[in-house]
Chain A
Amino acid sequence: MAKRIEAHGVTAFYSSFKAIDSINMTIEPKSVTALIGPSGCGKSTFLRSINRMHEVLPGARNEGKLLIDGQNVYDNDVDVTAVRRMIGMVFQRPNPFPTMSIYDNVISGLRLNGVRKKSTLDDAVEKALRGANLWNEVKDRLPRPGAGLSGGQQQRLCIARAIAVEPQVLLMDEPCSALDPISTLKIEDLISELKNRFTIVIVTHNMQQAARVSDRTGFFSIDQTGDPGRLIEYDDTSKIFTNPSEKKTEDYITGRFG
């Protein structure tokens, strides 16, 4: 049940500062799309604009249209919590809920949205943890605190928590930047598996990672500090990394800029 994402002129503001300008982009279902670009170019802002997390910050707002299978998530009559249930998110730093056990962390999205039945929750925990490749490591200590896991395990716990609510799109904001290479590898493997169930959009600073995991890549950039970020080029990953059409993209991926 993965969904297609279409951005039409998506623009994001922080108060009066325009952070991204008119992003147009179509993201196909069951694909991995990587967003790359220098720091401050608006990749994360665009990612957070997809599930309306951008507007959580004071003074932040969006313009344009963002369609999920044809429904504009910026419409006034849209229920924000429903959008976020449909579009899950994994953050840069693992953020398990510190007062909750591993078990409670995984089902927090379900339980706090009203699911009470023990058997349903038990099944959801196992399914989500298996989906996040964490089941074998934690199955014997589900009542232990989630914050007691290692960084890589915490991040997979957060992925399990995100996929437990059965979203259709999964957004990942630099999910491996705080992790060691082995944990990174595990999460990259996981991304290739999750691709069969979800539409995945991943922001990364690591170009090898983008090349390894993604089908399509979007390159964001800014002309100079203070300008809004723009989507410079968006194409198949193989093309972006071998034969980009834009000079800027080539400069960035060959390390001459950024």
Chain B
Amino acid sequence: MTAQVDTERPVVIASGDQLKAKRLPTWAPVAVAAAAIVLAAGLVMGTGWGGPVLTGVVAAVLFIVGLGVAGGVVEGRRAGSNRVATTLIYSAFLLALAPLLSVAFVLVTKGFERLDGNFLGTSMKNISAFDANGGAYHAIIGTLEQAGIATLITVPLGIAGAIYIVEYGRGFLANAIRFFVDVMTGIPSIVAGLFILSFWVFVVTPIFNDGRPGYSGFAAALALSVLMLPTVVRSTEEMLRLVPGALREGAYALGIPKWKTIMKIVLPTAGPGIVTGCMLAVARAAGETAPVLLVAGGNPAINFSPFSDNQSSLSLYVFEQAGVASQYAPARAWAAALTLVVIVLTLTVLAKLLARRNKLAR
């Protein structure tokens, strides 16, 4: 030991040997909150600066400062900053929740007005925007068919692509595919719609259609596939990478071929995560308006066939109804929006239950 080392003093972290410390009483946060609200109300309402929203903001700031100061004085600096940090995190959570709850609240209250059997069972055929009745049956069919076909196309393709990237791809080709998948993630939906419009609707379908462009639900499904594919590939890729290498090695060591290891060991292990990723993609596709507008064109009547003639979809229906200057249209738009959310939510819950349903009783 040199003298230089001896002069260095250890940093004092704890003083004394007392383990117990003074704590604020459990009612203190409530008391501080009450005081903050009263003070804020007096300050904002009393002086006439603003309404209840400003009062809430000022009360929140006062609460954080007040609790921090009270904690700091009674419990010490570390405990005081802990109280401030905890409060900030809780407030951030509430702030993030607020838009979600308010959207859900508005959607449910406004959507229920027209959400009835008539709305779910009729189309807009021979009904003008200024009539009170009319429904979204044709749009529900369109959304289910378009999103369904897009899912049938993208899920196998996307999972296969992710398997290639994770399990087989080496070097340049795998990196190139990853890069282009990343680029595809950023494609605006209108561009995907334009691509299918110019390629499928104007070039490919006229060959089979006496030279006339073929707007159809299937074209919309193709455009949605372009949007869904990168999401499916990337989320599946992440999930496959989370499967421990030890499981693959365990299977190889039993003489199980690689493809069977992937099908029977790796994919089932990553299953629930892959399903979540696919449902995110489905939800995004079901909510897209622009590509459907471009390549399916919209149709007020029921069209069961996705391969011929125009089709509508729920999001397109919402877009149309919301843009019409009629006293009845907004109610239809809200009801359709609620229907869309309920459909996506139901599908997501079903898919999750299906993925979690394991033969193993835990």
Contacts and interface: CB of A to CB of B under 8 A. Distances in A.
Contacts of A95: 244, 246-247, 249-250
Contacts of A56: 248-249, 252
Nearest to B255: A85
Contact of B254 (A85, A101, A143): A85
A210 B114 CA distance: 78
B269 A89 contact: no
B170 interface: yes
B360 A162 contact: no
Nearest to B263: A112
A112 B358 contact: no
B239 to A, nearest CB: 13
Given A58-B170, A91-B246, A93-B246, A99 B254 contact: no
A165 interface: yes
B271 A165 contact: no
Interface string B250-286: 1111111100110011001101000000000000000
Nearest to A148: B362
A158 interface: yes
Contact of B271 (A93, A99, A100): A99
Given A91-B246, A97-B247, A108 B360 contact: no
Contacts of A150: none
B253 A88 contact: yes
A191 B329 CA distance: 78
Contacts of B253: 51, 53, 84, 88-89, 91, 162
Contacts of A145: 360, 362
A84 B248 CA distance: 13
Given A99-B360, A101-B360, A145-B360, A108 B254 contact: yes
Contacts of B170: 58
Nearest to A81: B255
Nearest to B254: A109
B247 to A, nearest CB: 6
A242 B102 CA distance: 79
A88 B361 CA distance: 29
A99 B269 contact: yes
B250 A53 contact: no
Nearest to A165: B254
A101 B359 contact: yes
A161 interface: yes
A130 interface: no
Given A99-B271, A99-B358, A101-B360, A161 B254 contact: yes
A108 B271 contact: no
Contacts of B358: 99
A81 B257 contact: yes
Interface string A42-75: 0000000001010010100000000000000000
Contact of A143 (B249, B261, B360): B360
A182 interface: no
Chain B CB within 10 Å — which of A53, A58, A98 has the most?
Answer: A98
Contacts of A85: 254-255
Contacts of B251: 97, 108, 112
Contacts of A112: 251, 254, 256, 260-261, 264
Interface in B308-362: 358-362
Interface string B42-83: 000000000000000000000000000000000000000000
B361 A109 contact: no
A112 B262 CA distance: 11
A141 B246 CA distance: 25
Contacts of B361: 143-144
A113 interface: yes
Interface in B214-256: 244, 246-256
Contacts of B359: 101, 143
B241 to A, nearest CB: 14
B250 to A, nearest CB: 4
A83 B255 CA distance: 7
A63 to B, nearest CB: 21
Contacts of A83: 255
A96 B248 CA distance: 11
B269 A98 contact: yes
Contacts of B254: 84-85, 88, 108-109, 112-113, 161-162, 165
A113 B255 contact: yes
A100 B269 CA distance: 9
Nearest to A96: B250
A108 B269 contact: no
Nearest to A102: B360
B259 to A, nearest CB: 10
Contacts of A98: 247, 269
A93 B268 CA distance: 21
Given A91-B250, A95-B246, A109 B255 contact: yes
Closest 6 CB pairs of A and B: A85-B255, A109-B254, A89-B253, A84-B255, A99-B268, A95-B246
Given A53-B252, A95-B246, 11 more contacts: A81-B257, A84-B252, A84-B254, A88-B253, A89-B253, A91-B253, A112-B254, A113-B256, A143-B359, A143-B361, A165-B255
Interface of A: 51, 53, 56, 58, 81-86, 88-89, 91, 93, 95, 97-101, 108-109, 112-113, 143-145, 148, 158, 161-162, 165
12 contacts: A86-B255, A91-B250, A95-B246, A95-B249, A97-B247, A99-B358, A100-B360, A112-B254, A145-B360, A145-B362, A162-B254, A165-B254
